[in-house]
């Protein structure tokens, strides 16, 4: 009755579009070869997930992504027994699946997960590289190709959601930020399918909005939202309307901030 989720489904078929910003590809490759777990730090929507997809494609590894949340437990990651007919049948969780097949395992926004999840990964992220599956009484050893990646947004973590030192100090950490101007223009033009001039305007708006950080704005506008605006413009919406619904409205509820951003939009366009 169940459709078995074969690990092949996790292999990316075509190259994910990714423009490198610095030496992140070299660093990730060295960590992969030294079998060190990697932590990606940076704001929302700046390309961390795309980078992981790109690296998985490069190494021809299946990519198992887990969006972490407050109720994500160790059991969700490792697996559980489910009743099927009259028998309980074991179902591998995504982490077990990834370890078994030497996949790349990516825990997105890892601080959102429950603490037991974070401790669970300890034996997998030091030189032991093992995953104890208590409920099946087995200890899985990760093959050399297995790569563990987590992402983490240091910008808006509360004290309660900070990563513990005993977790942090198990990772090589690569820092991300919004791409530099020319690269972001190329991304917006490519993904939003607009001409370079429109992309240029949108990235100019994006950079000016990001300067409002520290002046009431929690976080800057992501590359993704700039792409959204481009897509709406391409769909026939006027540039100002597109920027309003894709940039001004989503990132804040504060009327004054909205007005400031709206002014940036009308100044640029």
Q: Where does this chain touch a second copy (CB under 8 A) — which range of 195-203, 204-212, 231-239, 260-268?
A: 231-239
| Interface with a second copy, residue 160, by CB under 8 A | no
Nearby residues of 210 by Cβ (< 8 Å), 6 or more positions away:
178, 220, 221
Q: How far is the CB of 183 from a second copy (least distance, A)?
A: 18
Closer to a second copy at the Cβ: 70 or 256? Answer: 70
Closer to a second copy at the Cβ: 60 or 159? Answer: 159
Residues 125-154 that bind a second copy (CB under 8 A): 126-127, 134-139, 153-154
Binding mask 99-118 for a second copy (x = CB under 8 A): ---------xx--x-xxx-x
| Interface with a second copy, residue 267, by CB under 8 A | no
Residues 39-58 that bind a second copy (CB under 8 A): 39, 41, 43-45, 49
Closer to a second copy at the Cβ: 102 or 136? Answer: 136
Cα→Cα distances 82→2, 72, 138, 218, Å = 12, 17, 18, 42
Q: Which of 21, 25, 27, 186 binds a second copy (CB under 8 A)?
A: 27
Beta strands 130-133 and 104-108, pairing class: unpaired
Q: Where does this chain touch a second copy (CB under 8 A) — which range of 20-28, 179-187, 194-202, 206-214?
A: 20-28
Residues 168-207 that bind a second copy (CB under 8 A): 168-175, 191
Count of C-beta atoms within a 10 Å radius of residue 13: 5
Closer to a second copy at the Cβ: 212 or 246? Answer: 246
Burial class (CB in 10 A: 0-12, 13-18, 19+), 9: exposed
Burial class (CB in 10 A: 0-12, 13-18, 19+), 204: middle
Beta strands 79-84 and 130-133, pairing class: unpaired
Q: Where does this chain touch a second copy (CB under 8 A) — which range of 87-95, 99-107, 177-185, 207-215?
A: 87-95
Q: Give the integer Cα–Cα distance in Å for 60 and 90.
A: 28
Residues 206-225 that bind a second copy (CB under 8 A): 218-219, 221-222, 224-225
Count of C-beta atoms within a 10 Å radius of residue 123: 15
What is the total count of residues that contact a second copy (CB under 8 A)?
97
| Interface with a second copy, residue 119, by CB under 8 A | yes
Burial class (CB in 10 A: 0-12, 13-18, 19+), 137: exposed
Closer to a second copy at the Cβ: 185 or 221? Answer: 221
Q: Give the integer Cα–Cα distance in Å for 91 and 258.
A: 48
| Interface with a second copy, residue 30, by CB under 8 A | yes
Q: Which of 143, 166, 182, 259 binds a second copy (CB under 8 A)?
A: 166
**H/E element, 152:** strand 147-152
Q: Are 228 and 246 contacting, i.e. CB atoms less than 8 angstroms apart?
A: yes
């Amino acid at each position: 009755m169940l459709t078995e989720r074969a690990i092949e489904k996790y292999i990316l078929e075509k190259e994910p579009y990714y423009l490198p910003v610095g030496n992140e590809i070299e660093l990730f490759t060295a960590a992969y070869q030294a079998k060190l777990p990697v932590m990606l730090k940076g704001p929302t929507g700046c390309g961390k997930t795309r980078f992981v997809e790109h690296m998985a494609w490069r190494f021809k590894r299946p990519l198992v992504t887990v969006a972490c949340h407050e109720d994500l437990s160790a059991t969700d990651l490792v697996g559980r027994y489910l009743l099927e007919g009259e028998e309980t049948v074991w179902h591998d969780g995504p982490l077990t699946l990834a370890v078994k097949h030497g996949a790349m395992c990516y825990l997105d926004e890892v601080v959102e997960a429950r603490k037991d999840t974070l401790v669970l990964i300890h034996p997998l992220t030091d030189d032991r590289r093992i995953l104890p599956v208590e409920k099946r009484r087995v200890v899985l050893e990760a093959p050399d190709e297995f790569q563990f990646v987590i992402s983490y947004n240091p910008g808006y973590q509360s004290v309660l959601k900070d990563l513990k030192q005993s977790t942090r100090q198990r990772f090589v950490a690569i820092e991300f930020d919004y791409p530099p101007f020319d690269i972001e223009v190329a991304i917006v033009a490519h993904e939003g399918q607009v001409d370079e001039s429109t992309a240029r305007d949108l990235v100019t708006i994006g950079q000016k909005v990001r300067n409002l950080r520290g002046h009431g704005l929690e976080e800057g506008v992501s590359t993704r939202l700039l792409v959204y605006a481009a897509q709406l413009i391409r769909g026939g919406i006027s540039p100002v309307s597109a920027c309003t619904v894709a940039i001004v409205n989503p990132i804040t509820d504060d009327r004054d901030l909205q007005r400031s951003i709206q002014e940036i939009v009308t100044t640029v366009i």
